[in-house]
Amino acid sequence: MAKIVKVKSGSPYEERESYSRVVCVDDWIFVSNTAGRNYVTREMSTDPVEQLRQAMKNVEGALAAVGATLADVVRSRVTIPNVEHASDVMAAVGEVFRGVDPASTVLCSPLGGPEYLVEVEITAYRGASASAQERIVVDLSA
């Protein structure tokens, strides 16, 4: 039987909208869409790259709560409502995941309000960072 753990961060949205910040099914970890709001000060930068950096700190804390790290991430989904911010935000994502190289999706789609300039959703596998990894490079130009 699978072990399921659900983690709440205390956000009022989690209760109102009935969701968990993190759901673990055995070693699979699913982190809900996470914005760049500082959980302590409740402030959020107006800079999309700073929002991304804060969102990744929030994700990092969520992963730590279930014994995982950013190095265990196997998939990321980044939503950026303003396509003009995509290049800078994704460069910052590249810095965070350098060497981890998860599968990645980038969406340019509206978020919950105009103040949200980026949100991140993560799938991780606890222990992925310690597992043997094979990297294959293919030529897709053919």
- Over residues 77-112, the pLDDT tens digits come to 999 999 999 999 999 999 999 999 999 999 999 999
Rounded to an integer, the average pLDDT of 67-74 is: 97
The contacts of residue 73 (CB under 8 Å, 6+ apart) are 63, 97, 100, 102, 122, 123, 124, 128
Positive or negative, the Cα torsion across 97, 99, 103, 107? positive
What value does the mean pLDDT of the chain take?
Answer: 95
Confidence band, pLDDT 50/70/90 cuts, at residue 11? confident
Whether residue 21 contacts residue 11, with contact meaning beta carbons closer than 8 Å, is answered with: yes
pLDDT digits over 25-38, tens only?
999 999 999 999 99
Whether the CB-CB separation of 21 and 12 falls below 8 Å is answered with: no
Residue 132 has pLDDT above 90, yes or no: no
The full set of domains in the chain, from first to last, is 4-130 (3.30.1330.40)
Residue 6, strand partner residues: 23
